[in-house]
Amino acid sequence: MSSHLKHLEEANTELAVLKRHVTAAFSYIKDQCSSDAGFDGKLLDDWQLPSYELAFCMAQLSAAAAFNDYAQKLITQKFTQQLALSFCAETLQGVLNQLVARATDVGLDRAKLLDIHEGTVYRKLLDTYASTKFLSSLGGEIVDNDIQRLPSLLSEEKELVRETFYRFANEEVTPLAEQIHRFDEDIPDSILQGAAELGCFGTCIPERFGGLQPDDRPDSLSMIVVTEELSRGSLGAAGSLITRPEIAARALLSGGSEQQQQKWLPLLAAGKTLCAISITEPNTGSDVAAVSLKATKTINGWLLNGSKTWCTFAGKSELLVVLARSSKDTSLGYKGLSLFLVEKPSFIGHNFKHAQEDGGSVTGKAIATIGYRGMHSYDLFFEDFFVPSENLVGEEAGEGRGFYFTMAGFAGGRIQTAARATGVMQAAFESALSYAKSRKVFGSAIADFQLTQVKLARLLATLTAARQFSYAVAELMDDGAGQMEASLVKLFSCRAAEMLSREALQIHGGMGYAEESAVSRLFVDARVLSIFEGAEEVLAIKVVARELIEEAP
């Protein structure tokens, strides 16, 4: 066994040690939130900061472990193993420092944590793989060999899919990305039609409905690969095209009637019907259970009244998947919600109004945003908008089940968002590496400076960790597990995309701040990733931390 493979095993042991301490901290919080009557989730509000920080600790440790497992499979790839070890060493250092600082709050023994810091294996990993000399040598190798990405370990079939969408992004998306962003234009039909012809909209829809997913098993990895490459071209103009049909399809597969599945899934898979997801409201944000848009029963259907916000792609879409409160009994909470399929014409531009013959209407106005342009996110207002009974997801049996169908849709949305983050990171890294090699200051290329080399090494390590973490989670999800891990990979990847795009912009200096530079678009696009599909605070505290606390011994 090579020394690097041995060190990877040792690193995994150290990661496991810190995971146990994080679990112990969650267990302590659980004790503080429990009584003779059992665990009381309401008391967690007194533990928001520790819960938030511990959730990120677990996400970082999990990402490092995924990177290490990947590197161990590449037994002849010395550089990959070294990069994994450098990422692991810095992750260990960062998480341990976080736990030491928070030890008293979460019932950990600071002395025992400091013992880890002085441990022989820990010090060896830190001194060897997190040293300035080692990190800069990795960066130098990246520059000298123009290493833009590491081996994927994808199958031949998946690699062909990746290459197909890589070319599509280069030829159809990237040339239009800057114009769409700078002038806040609609996504052109050339991108939509081209993506549809490649099967983009059907990656999460079974083959029996015209999609690309096998009928006998899920295939999350293909969706991730496609999403990465489209997001590398543009997050707003291509990378998010899959998200909405994926959420809609998962909701329909979870609770839709056979007739609804037969009608809508083929249309979504072919891209013949574009869709948007309307969940968020002005006063609810990530609190899905607090949705208040009213759905009132009427003859042969329902009337929708109220407001929605942040409905991305609502103008161009012919189908809005809308979560509304169908019960007058507000005490039912999330059990009083239903999911509706709202049909409307497609509109271009930043404003639209669709009036029904009987007087009902839905209006939309695009929200001005700093990034994530192309799809446009809308404020919506429904006024006595009629939805026929057959468009209630699940029909009569689906009344009051909307929250569950929505959550089924969002489960895949989190890992898909992680893939979007990886695509943005890939584009930002490629831009930074190219610019660092060509730009000269003080008589030398920026890439020749030690600090730039260290940055490039860290950026490629972070990018690879996010990618391999998402691949590992995809396998878990396809085996019927991985819901927690999907939340963890979203936490890690979206935060990482902000850091990486920031550093990529910094490497560009003043040119990075200019709108004519693509990296400025990547920087503002990355900022939205930690907000949508579950704001990181809600995801960390209400989903990740809560579940880990409840499961803690």
pLDDT at res. 430: 98
Chain centroid to CA 227: 10
> Rounded to whole angstroms, how far apart are CA atoms 316 and 534?
23
CB 323 within 8 A of CB 342: no
Which 3-state string (H, E, C) describes 109-136?
CHHHHHHHHCCHHHHHHHHHHCCHHHHH
Angle between helices 450-478 and 402-438 (to 10 degrees): 150
Number of domains in the chain: 1
Average pLDDT over residues 432-440: 95
* CATH of residue 106: 1.20.140
> How many CA atoms lie less than 13 Å away from 170 in the CB half-sphere?
7
Copy the structure tokens of residue 316. Answer: 């161009």
Task: Please indicate, yes or no, if residue 97 is contained in any of the structural domains.
Answer: yes
Task: Please indicate, yes or no, if residue 19 is contained in any of the structural domains.
Answer: yes
Sign of CA dihedral 291, 292, 293, 297: positive
Under DSSP, the state recorded for 213 is B
Please tell me which residue in 533, 536, 547, 550 is annotated as part of the active site: 533
Q: Quick check: helix, strand or coil at residue 78?
A: helix
Percentage of the chain modeled with pLDDT above 90: 82
pLDDT at res. 532: 82
Which 3-state string (H, E, C) describes 326-390?
CCCCHHHHHHHEEEEEEECCCCCCCEEEEECCCCCEEEEEECCCCCCCCCCEEEEEEEEEEEEHH
pLDDT tens column, 498-540: 999 999 999 999 999 999 899 999 999 999 999 987 789 999 9
pLDDT at res. 473: 95
Find the angle CA(526)-CA(142)-CA(423) to the nearest 5 degrees. 25
pLDDT at res. 469: 98
CB 280 within 8 A of CB 309: yes
Q: To the nearest whole number, what is the mean pLDDT of the chain?
A: 94
Average pLDDT over residues 238-264: 93
Average pLDDT over residues 207-231: 92
Q: Quick check: helix, strand or coil at residue 301?
A: strand
CB 244 within 8 A of CB 285: no
Task: Please indicate, yes or no, if residue 357 is contained in any of the structural domains.
Answer: no
Please choose, from the candidates 98, 85, 86, the residue with its C-alpha nearest in 3D space to the C-alpha of residue 21.
Answer: 98
Residue 178 known to be catalytic: no
pLDDT at res. 256: 94
pLDDT at res. 414: 86
Task: Please indicate, yes or no, if residue 396 is contained in any of the structural domains.
Answer: no
Q: Quick check: helix, strand or coil at residue 76?
A: coil
Q: How many CB atoms lie within 10 A of CB 164?
A: 15
Query: Which residues are 468's β-sheet partners?
Result: none
> Rounded to whole angstroms, how far apart are CA atoms 108 and 116?
13
Task: Please indicate, yes or no, if residue 519 is contained in any of the structural domains.
Answer: no
Task: Please indicate, yes or no, if residue 311 is contained in any of the structural domains.
Answer: no
Radius of gyration of the chain (CA): 24
pLDDT tens column, 474-501: 999 988 888 899 999 999 999 999 999 9
| Range in 140-144, 328-332, 433-437 with the lowest mean pLDDT | 328-332
pLDDT at res. 95: 97
Query: Which residues are 363's β-sheet partners?
Result: 353, 381
Please choose, from the candidates 466, 521, 182, the residue with its C-alpha nearest in 3D space to the C-alpha of residue 474.
Answer: 466
Percentage of the chain modeled with pLDDT above 70: 99
pLDDT at 103 over 80: yes
pLDDT tens column, 156-175: 999 999 999 999 999 999 99
pLDDT at res. 287: 63
Copy the structure tokens of residue 480. Answer: 């019927």
Q: How many CB atoms lie within 10 A of CB 483?
A: 17
| Buried-exposed string 97-121: b where 16+ CB fall within 10 A, e elsewhere | ebbeebbeebebeeeebeebeeeee
pLDDT at res. 98: 97
pLDDT at 52 over 80: yes
pLDDT tens column, 285-326: 556 667 889 999 999 999 999 999 999 999 999 999 999 999
Q: What is the pTM of this model?
A: 0.94
Task: Please indicate, yes or no, if residue 303 is contained in any of the structural domains.
Answer: no
Query: Could you tell me the pLDDT band of residue 1, with boundaries at 50, 70 and 90?
Result: low
pLDDT at res. 288: 65
pLDDT at res. 285: 58
Task: Please indicate, yes or no, if residue 353 is contained in any of the structural domains.
Answer: no
> Rounded to whole angstroms, how far apart are CA atoms 210 and 269?
6
Chain centroid to CA 58: 17
Query: Could you tell me the pLDDT band of residue 209, with boundaries at 50, 70 and 90?
Result: very high
Average pLDDT over residues 391-411: 89
CB 235 within 8 A of CB 175: no
> Rounded to whole angstroms, how far apart are CA atoms 152 and 454?
23
Q: What is the domain range of residue 43? A: 3-130
Longest dimension (CA), the chain: 78
pLDDT at 386 over 80: yes
| Range in 32-41, 345-354, 386-395 with the lowest mean pLDDT | 32-41
pLDDT at res. 37: 79
